[in-house]
Amino acid sequence: MGGCYGARRHCQTGAAIANVAFPPRMFAKMTWPSWLTLKSRRRPAAEPSLTACPTCGREMDQIEKTTMTGSDRRTYRCGRCGEEHIVNFGPALWKILADAREADEKREKQNG
């Protein structure tokens, strides 16, 4: 059993590298197992929507928006269920700006 060493081990044995490769028709038949999901095939979860109806999941229509209390509250009605839901989106923009202005004025009075 003689032969070359290193990268040319096939030269004395007669086994060519091209003969070892799979023919292309065999690759076409290969499929992934059903339990295996590649990262590239995964889809991220959908972002939760504040305007989706909690009962049926459909998108609701905005019927009222109020910021008089200092918070941004919006009322939505579902066209399918007919239910109304009040969603609080946090502090109103005018309230944030007014608080910042008051803090600046107070700081100017203290500094002179």
For 62-101, letters b (16+ CB in 10 Å) and e give: eeeeeeeeeebbbebebeeeeeebeeeeeebeeeeeeeee
Amino acid (one-letter) located at 100: A
Walk along the chain (112 residues) in steps of 10 and give the mean pLDDT of each run: 54 52 61 70 76 88 91 92 90 94 92 78
Task: Give the number of C-alpha atoms closer than 13 A to the C-alpha of residue 87, restricted to the C-beta side.
Answer: 20
Token duo for residue 1: 């059993």
63 and 75 Cβ atoms separated by less than 8 Å: yes
52 and 58 Cβ atoms separated by less than 8 Å: yes
Q: Which pLDDT value is given to residue 64?
A: 92
Question: Global pTM?
Answer: 0.51
